[in-house]
Amino acid sequence: MPIGDLVTSDSDWEVERERLLSQRISDLGLSLEGTVLEKLVTQLYVELDQRGLTFRPPVYLSDQWGCPDGTPLIGVPFYLADPRLARIEEDFALEIESENDVMRFLRHEAGHAFNYAYRLHDRADWHETFGPYSRPYRDRYRSDPFTHQYVRHILGWYAQKHPDEDFAETFAVWLTPDVDWRREYEGWGALRKLEYVDRVMRDVGQEQPKVRELTDDDLPVAAMRYTVAEHYRDLDDPLPVSDPRIFDGDLRALFGKLAEMPEKERAGGFIKAHRREIVSRIAYWTGEPAAAVRKFVDLIAARADELELAVRGREASTLIELTAFGTAVVMNFRYTDDFTGERPGE
């Protein structure tokens, strides 16, 4: 289930939502203390202890998941500390992390923290196992869903993004309780990486690394002196689509003309009604953030309305075709930073 209790009456929610959006995040008094998130951080520390590791990466509320600038500090999204803010996040991303998701991300970020705390990425055997740490880091990357050289933990084949992510994902699988990683990854190239983590953690596990104090540069909530609305405005970049008519041929193939079957459901309304399901499926299969997929789905829904299209087939088959179409477009975006498939000069 999602983090927090999101139950609030609809009549009061809009007023409360606008009030929260207008407040500076630094003034909200957010804290890990007393939240479900605090319980999950404690669970992470228990898991580390069970693996014989003495280091406890400090966890704090920030704007997003991550270890800032290669430091062994774990930032988690501020909205996870307040169910009202989680509900606002859900408006933009359609979903918020479940408790299982949070644990998955905490284990992943702990992998980064251990890598940075002990500077494992400077070791020659780390480079030999995971690749060069200096490799350029790109938000969008090509992935091979069939390779056995990487573990599978976070959706979107995230271990393939960069050697640093490969290590963090491998650490997370190694750390997860009740996972028999030797059996699950038997015969995979990824098993060598898991055995490396197991061996190195035994070597360094009893050492206590030095960790610097948290500063405003790490962007804790106390330093987020901008409103909740400004936070989401900064994240709401427009899609790189100069002309949505590029999708007209695809939409006409998916749907029929409303004028020829006025009794049928309008295509734009159908897309909007199934928006959450379509976005979640495309985001799942592509690894692209739900917020970006949501904007694409909203764009094609609006264009379907302009074209006056209608659903001509069965709901299930239409959803399958629409999801396949969206997945193809979003995967092209991952590989080219372009939703249209065009290249410069074409």
The string of DSSP codes covering 65-134 is SB-GGG-S-EEEEGGGG-HHHHHHHHHHHS---BHHHHHHHHHHHHHHHHHHHTTGGGSHHHHHHH--TT
User: Domain for residue 67, yes or no?
Assistant: yes
Q: Are residues 45 and 131 in the same domain?
A: yes
Give CA–CA dist 274/298, Å, rounded. Answer: 11
Q: What angle do CA 11, 92, 290 make, to 5 degrees?
A: 140
Q: Are residues 290 and 163 in the same domain?
A: no
Return the pLDDT at 271: 95
Q: Are residues 244 and 178 in the same domain?
A: no
Q: Which residues of the chain have pLDDT under 70?
A: 1-9, 234-240, 337-346
DSSP string, 161-178: S-HHHHHHHHHHHHHSTT
Cβ-based neighbours of 154, under 8 Å, separated by 6 or more: 104, 105, 108, 169, 172
User: Domain for residue 341, yes or no?
Assistant: no
Say which DSSP state 62 is in.
Answer: E
Tell me the residue range of the domain where 183 lies. Answer: 10-223
Number of folded domains in the chain?
2
Q: Are residues 35 and 94 in the same domain?
A: yes
User: Domain for residue 213, yes or no?
Assistant: yes
Please say which residue of 196, 223, 250 terminates a domain.
Answer: 223
Give CA–CA dist 174/195, Å, rounded. Answer: 9
Query: What are the angstrom distances between the C-alpha of 262 and each of 172, 252, 297, 302, 317?
Result: 53, 16, 23, 18, 20
Return the pLDDT at 218: 95
User: Domain for residue 342, yes or no?
Assistant: no
At 8, list the tokens: 């609030």
Return the pLDDT at 2: 44
Residue 16 amino acid letter: E
User: Domain for residue 233, yes or no?
Assistant: no
Q: Are residues 167 and 280 in the same domain?
A: no
Please say which residue of 191, 223, 255 terminates a domain.
Answer: 223
Please say which residue of 190, 223, 256 terminates a domain.
Answer: 223
Is residue 53 within 8 A of residue 201, CB to CB? The reply is: yes
Q: Are residues 149 and 295 in the same domain?
A: no
Return the pLDDT at 7: 47
Give CA–CA dist 174/216, Å, rounded. Answer: 32
User: Domain for residue 1, yes or no?
Assistant: no
User: Domain for residue 56, yes or no?
Assistant: yes
Strands (E), the chain: 59-62, 74-77, 256-257, 309-310
Return the pLDDT at 163: 97
Return the pLDDT at 345: 40
Q: Are residues 131 and 87 in the same domain?
A: yes
Residue 256's nearest CA partner among 340, 313, 296 is 313
Return the pLDDT at 100: 94
Q: Are residues 177 and 301 in the same domain?
A: no
Q: Are residues 245 and 218 in the same domain?
A: no
At 2, list the tokens: 């999602």
The whole-model pTM stands at 0.82
Q: Are residues 18 and 59 in the same domain?
A: yes
User: Domain for residue 4, yes or no?
Assistant: no
* 130: alpha, beta or left? (left if phi > 0; alpha if psi -120 to 50): alpha
Is residue 212 within 8 A of residue 63, CB to CB? The reply is: no
Q: Cα 153 to chain center, whole Å?
A: 12
Return the pLDDT at 185: 97
Q: Are residues 243 and 116 in the same domain?
A: no
Residue 287's nearest CA partner among 328, 232, 334 is 334
Return the pLDDT at 202: 96
Q: Are residues 154 and 298 in the same domain?
A: no
Q: What angle do CA 88, 105, 185 make, to 5 degrees?
A: 145
